[in-house]
Amino acid sequence: MNLLEHLQWRYATKKFDPTKKVSSNDLEKIIQAIQLSVSSYGLQLYKVLIIENPEIREKLKPVSWNQSQITDASHLIVFCNYTDATSQAIDNFIEQTAVTRNLDLERLNGYGDFIKSKLNEKSDTEKTNWLKSQTYLALGNLLSACAELKIDSCPMEGFEPEAYNEILGLNEQGLNAAVISPIGYRHHEDDTAELPKVRKPINELFEIV
């Protein structure tokens, strides 16, 4: 299983080589992998920013604990969840489903109403946590796709979401920066690349019931 080899190879890259850039062809593959990510009800209530602009990344670095990956990596990927699951967003999804699958919209309206009712059962805190968690599903696909392409990555929560929201103008779009990941190529001076992976033993991590 090649995926296991790829996952053994990857690690959270601490030092990127700023001279090496991800090709447009590989970036497109990563984009498609993220697009194919699973999400609750299939709604994909998030947006993914691919930040190349060096000036913007310089502004983001101080509010990312001054971590060098923000500016040295080839691209900075910012996963942003929508701050609300609006009825319009659900209606749009139902309409897209009808068009994509060539179905009568009337047949799907009941499913749309079901989604709305289940989300309305959540408290504001539960809904916020649920919306944010969707971005991590997409992040997983990013990490796996990068590993297969031998592109390095580093998922990060070490940043100030409120500052990101302000710098990137996310508040006005009803978005929130949830999790980020620089991608690129490891620097030959990154000693952490050679460290053995620390993971729980399988018999401790898993239990068959």
Q: Residue 95: inside a domain, yes or no?
A: no
Classify residue 19 by its DSSP letter.
Answer: T
Q: Residue 22: inside a domain, yes or no?
A: yes
Give the C-alpha separation, 187 to 196, whole Å.
Answer: 18
Q: How confident is the model at residue 166 (pLDDT cuts 50, 70, 90)?
A: very high
Predicted confidence at residue 135, as pLDDT, reads: 98
Q: Residue 175: inside a domain, yes or no?
A: yes
Average pLDDT over residues 37-60: 98
pLDDT digits (tens, 9 = 90+) for 102-124: 999 999 999 999 999 999 999 99
Q: Residue 26: inside a domain, yes or no?
A: yes
- Indicate if the pLDDT at residue 209 is higher than 90: yes
- Indicate if the pLDDT at residue 128 is higher than 90: yes
49, 80 in Cβ contact below 8 A? yes
Q: Residue 50: inside a domain, yes or no?
A: yes
Q: Residue 113: inside a domain, yes or no?
A: no
What percentage of the chain has pLDDT greater than the value 90?
100
Q: Which domain holds residue 169?
A: 2-83+130-205
pLDDT digits (tens, 9 = 90+) for 170-196: 999 999 999 999 999 999 999 999 999
Q: How confident is the model at residue 23 (pLDDT cuts 50, 70, 90)?
A: very high
Predicted confidence at residue 1, as pLDDT, reads: 81
β-bridge pairing 152-153 and 175-184: antiparallel
Predicted confidence at residue 42, as pLDDT, reads: 97
Q: How many structural domains is the chain composed of?
A: 1
Average pLDDT over residues 158-175: 98
Closest to 184 in 3D by CA, of 68, 90, 99, 87: 68
Q: Residue 43: inside a domain, yes or no?
A: yes
Q: How confident is the model at residue 164 (pLDDT cuts 50, 70, 90)?
A: very high
What percentage of the chain has pLDDT greater than the value 70?
100
Q: How confident is the model at residue 207 (pLDDT cuts 50, 70, 90)?
A: very high
Give the C-alpha separation, 4 to 8, whole Å.
Answer: 6
Instruction: Write the CATH number for 176.
Output: 3.40.109.10
3-state secondary structure of 159: coil
Task: Tally the residues of the chain.
Answer: 209
**How high does pLDDT run on average in the chain?**
98
Average pLDDT over residues 193-209: 97
